[in-house]
Every structure is written in C-alpha cells, then in structure tokens.
Amino acid sequence: MESAGARLKKIRLEKGITLEDIQRATKINANVLKAIEGDSFTNLSPVYLKGFLKIYCKYLGVGPDEYIFGPKDLQAESGEGTPASREIREKPKKSACLLKSACTKVLTFKPSEKLKKLFRSAFFALIIWVVLFNLGRFISSRKKAHLAKKAEAVAVKSAQPQINEIKPEVPLSSGIQLVVMARQNCWMSVKVDGKVVFQRVLEKGIDESWQAKKKIELSLGNAGGVELEVNGELFKNLGRRGQVIKNILITKEGLKIGK
C-alpha cells in the first residue's frame, strides 16, 4: 500500500510543483518537507507534524484528513511506545529510584555497638597522637632554644677580653695621675686615696682627671665606653660595651682589675 508521504509527493510532481516552491509559499523548512514525503517522522514532534501536514495539503489542494496519521500511528512512526523507547524513558526513573534508595540507606544507617567502639578508639587514638606530636615539637623547640642560648653565652664569654692585670711598659712616677676619656656615656665611681671624689655618669666626649699620692680606686658601668691614661700611659679595651667592672686599682706598681 502506498504511504501518505509518497501519495503527497506524487500529487506535487503531477502538478509540477517543486519543494522550493512550497518552501517559499509555506515557510516550511525543506528538510521537514522531505521528511513528510519520505514518511520519516522520527525527529518531528507529532503536534508540529500535524500542523505542517495541514499546511502542505492545503497548498496542494487536497484534504488533509486522509494524509494525517492518528496519534497512535504518529507515535509508532516516531518510535514512541516501543519497548526500546520505554526503556530509555524508564532509565532516568530507575536511576532516581536507586539514588533515593542509597540516600535512605545512608540516612537510616545505624552502626553496631562494636563499630561504635572501634570509632571511639580510633578517635581517642588520633587525639593522643596529635597531643604527643605537638608536645614533642614544643620540647624540641625549647631544647633548640636552650642550646642556642648556651652557645651564644659561650661565644660571648670567649670573645670577652680576659683582663686580670695591666701593667704599663714604664714604671709609674712617685705620684699618680689619672685621666678618663669618655667615648660613650659611662657611670663611674672614683676614689682618690680612699675618698670618693666622683660618682655619676661621665658623658660622651668629656675628659676628667685626678691625682693621688698612693692609690685611685675606679668602678665603671660601661667598660667599653672609656679609655684611661695613667701617668701618660694609655689603657684601652678595658672591657666590652655595657660591661660593669668594679675595683679597678691604680697604684704606683701598676693597674689591676679585681675579679
């Protein structure tokens, strides 16, 4: 039996009408017209297909009723209603059901008492590990800081000049003359023959001098900030900057620094 599309094509050819003529007149795409004549409705919606067929039939001057398929026929032509199409449509539903079932199982999952104990043990073990790890890091950092401080103290001590006794190259005269030259601010205490004659800060750039018959006792709050001149003999580097030296004794025999 000749199909509806083939019959429409035959009528069009008998009237000498081309597909381009129908396209220009009806504004229906040429691919749609070819699908109608070739009974290829797979990619066409049944609703639109009926409308296109009515316009096409009207242009050819034929009644559309005998050329338009019913809903069931259109469904069969487009592949709808077949087992394959039903399977395709049902796949998303099955996937949604499986996902919903999995979510329900997760939400309603109740671990056994044994599993709960295992979780608790693992949790406490993790906490203990974190505490011990941080404690180890803290102890290690304190130990490193202590060793660094100790090494720094040893370095400072080794760098500190060991001055126990400084003797001039020439003997002192019968009297004692002391000149103190401040290169930095320095607190000083000076005793001349047992009497305190100076006890304050000697400011930078200031020189002070004293004379004694027997001895001069000197204490410095910044040993690296001053220079001494005893009877014309210059004494530098009595100590490091900021170092406190007490009981510096200057006599006719020489200059001694007490311990």
Q: Rounded distance, CA 209 to CA 172, Å?
A: 16
Domain ranges of the chain: 4-77, 165-257
Statement: the pTM of the whole predicted model exceeds 0.75: no
CATH superfamily ID and name for 4-77: lambda repressor-like DNA-binding domains (1.10.260.40)
Pairing of strands 233-235, 245-251: unpaired
**Torsion, CA 64, CA 70, CA 75, CA 81, rounded to 10:** -170
222 φ, ψ (degrees, to nearest 5): -145, 80
Give the residue ranges of DSSP H helices in the chain.
Answer: 4-14, 19-26, 30-37, 46-60, 71-77, 83-107, 113-159
Residue 125: the pLDDT is: 93
Q: Rounded distance, CA 221 to CA 231, Å?
A: 23
Q: How many residues appear in the chain?
A: 259
Angle at 169 between CA 167 and CA 174, to 5 degrees: 80
**Torsion, CA 90, CA 96, CA 102, CA 104, rounded to 10:** -120
Angle at 244 between CA 144 and CA 208, to 5 degrees: 150
Residue 76: the pLDDT is: 43
Residue 199: count other Cβ atoms within 10 Å of its Cβ. 11
Per-residue pLDDT of the chain (259 residues; tens, 9 = 90+): 678 888 888 888 998 999 899 889 888 888 888 888 887 766 667 777 888 888 988 888 888 777 665 444 444 444 444 454 455 455 555 666 677 776 676 667 677 888 888 888 999 899 999 999 999 889 988 888 888 888 877 776 655 554 444 444 444 456 899 999 999 999 999 999 999 999 999 999 999 999 999 899 989 988 889 999 999 889 888 888 888 998 899 998 888 887 6
